[in-house]
Amino acid sequence: MGLGAGFGIGAGSFTAVTLGLPVGAWWAALAQAHGHAQLFGFAGLMVFGVALHFLPRLRGAPLWRAHYVPWVLRLYGGGVVLRVSAQMLAPFFAVTGIVPLVLLSSVAIALSGLLTLAGGGLAVLMLVQTARNGPPIAQRAGLMQVMPLLGAAWLGFLAALLVNAWGSLAVLDFWRLPPGARVAQVRIAPWLVTPIWDALTVRLALLGWLLPLSVAFAARNFPLFLWTQLAPAESLRWGLALLAAGLALETGGSVATMGAAAGATALFEVGRVLIAFGLLWLTAVVGVLGPKIEPPGRRATQGEIELAAIAAGPLTDAFVWLAVSGCLMLLQSILPALRLPPPPEDVVRHTLGAGFVLLLIVGMALRLLPGFASGGKRPTSIRAARIAAWAAQAAALLRVAPLLAIWLLSIFGIDGSYGRVATSLMAGAGVAGAVSLGALWWALREALAPPHPEAGTRTAS
C-alpha cells in the first residue's frame, strides 16, 4: 500500500503536474485515495501487525481468537484496496464514457467503508477481549502507564472508521437521481467522498488514533531504544486530556459548520489551540529531546549498536516534526488575528503524516519487527537500514519544506511563481518515500521471512 497507492500516487500526481499533463479529472480523487492509502493502508496495516503481536504481550495474555487475524486483513485490508482502486479508476471510466463502471465505482466506495469498519471493529474486539484476560491488570505496570492512551486511540480509530463509512455511503446519494440524470451528472464526480467528511476522517485518524497509539508505543519503548527517562503516567494523561478535549471541540466545530451554526468557527479554533498544546506537551513528556540515562543491561554487539544509532535518527526526528506541527497549529490560530496568512492546512497535515508517522514507523520497524518475527534476528543489511532512515527524512523535508517556504515568503510580501519548483520537490518526496520503504523491505526481508520447515525440525530435535 505504501509503495503503490501511497507514495506512488504522491510521486505520480505531482510529476504529472510538473510536466503539464492533464490531471484535472483525477486530482481530487487521487488526493483522497493517496491519503486513505497512507493512513489506513500503510500506517494502519503496520499498526495492526505490531499491535496484535505487542499488546497481548504487554497484557500478559494470549491474543483472543488469534485465528481471526486473517479475517482482519481480508475485511479491513480489502476495504482499503477497494476504496483506493475505485477512486483511481472511476475518473478514467468517466473520461472514456463508460458510465456504468462509474456508477459501479460509487457502489464499491460505499462498500469499502463498511468492509473497513467491519475489519477494524473485529481487530479492536480481539484486543479488548485480550485485555479482559490474563493476570490482574493492576499488576501490569507497563500497561497501566499507557492504558488511557491505548483506550483513547482505539476509540478514535472506531470514530474515524464510522465517519469514513458515513462519508462513503453518502456517495450513493448519486443513485437517488433519475436514470437519465445520473448520466448527465457523471461530471460532478460521484467517486469523491464529500470533502468535509474526508477531512474529518483524516483528522480523527491522525490525531485521534495514530498519535495517541504512537505516543503509547514510544513511552514504552523509548527508554529501551533511546535511553530516555520513563514518561510519568500522570503527565501522559494530561497530554491526552488536552488532545481529546481539543479534538472533541474541533470535531464539534466541523459538524456545526455543516449546519452553519453560530460559533462553530470559534469552537474549532479553541479546539485547535488545545490540540497544539497537547502535541507540544506529549513531545516534552516522551522526553526524546531531553536528557538521556545510562543504558542498562548486557553489552551490545557492534551490529546492534549500528542499528540503534540508525533507528535513533528517525525516532528522534519524528517528535521534532510533532513539535513543529504543534507550533504551526498555534500559528494557524494566532496569525489571522494579526491579519497575516496562516500556515496551509496541507503543511500541517504532512508534518504529522510524512514527518511524525512515517519516521516513527521506519524507526520502530527497524528495532521491533525483527524481534517479533525471528527472535531478535537483526536486519540483513545495515546499509539498507541506513538508506531507509535517510530516505524517510528526505521524504518528510521534500513534502513539507516547499510549501512552508512559499508561505514564509508570502508573510514578508515576497510573491513569485514557485509552483513548478514546489511540485517537482514534492514529487521527489514521493520517490524518497518509496525508496525508504523499498530499503526497509530489503533490510528486513530475511528477518520477516517465514522460517523454513526444516529449521523448525532441527530446532526441535
Counts for the chain of helices (H) and strands (E), in that order = 18, 0
Are residues 278 and 259 in contact, defined by beta-carbon separation less than 8 angstroms? no
Are residues 54 and 213 in contact, defined by beta-carbon separation less than 8 angstroms? no
Q: What is the pLDDT of residues 50-76, one digit of tens each?
A: 999 989 988 889 999 999 999 999 999
Q: What is the pLDDT of residues 255-300, one digit of tens each?
A: 777 655 555 678 888 999 999 999 999 999 999 988 777 665 555 5
How many Å is the maximal CA-CA distance in the chain? Answer: 75
CA 214, 217, 221, 227 torsion-angle sign: positive
Q: What is the pLDDT of residues 301-353, one digit of tens each?
A: 666 678 888 999 999 999 999 999 999 999 999 999 899 999 999 999 999 99
Are residues 201 and 167 in contact, defined by beta-carbon separation less than 8 angstroms? yes
- From CA 422, how far away is CA 406, in angstroms rounded? 9
- From CA 128, how far away is CA 302, in angstroms rounded? 40
Q: What is the pLDDT of residues 73-125, one digit of tens each?
A: 999 999 999 999 999 888 888 777 777 787 888 899 999 999 999 999 999 99
- From CA 32, how far away is CA 398, in angstroms rounded? 20
Q: What predicted TM-score, i.e. pTM, was given to this entire model?
A: 0.91
Residues, the chain, total? 461
Residue 125: CB atoms within 10 A of its CB come to 14
Residue identified by cell 504522491 is 10
**CA–CA–CA angle 230, 379, 376 (5° rounding):** 55
Q: Give the pLDDT confidence score for residue 456 in this predicted structure.
A: 47
**CA–CA–CA angle 395, 399, 405 (5° rounding):** 130
* 170 grid coordinates: 453518502
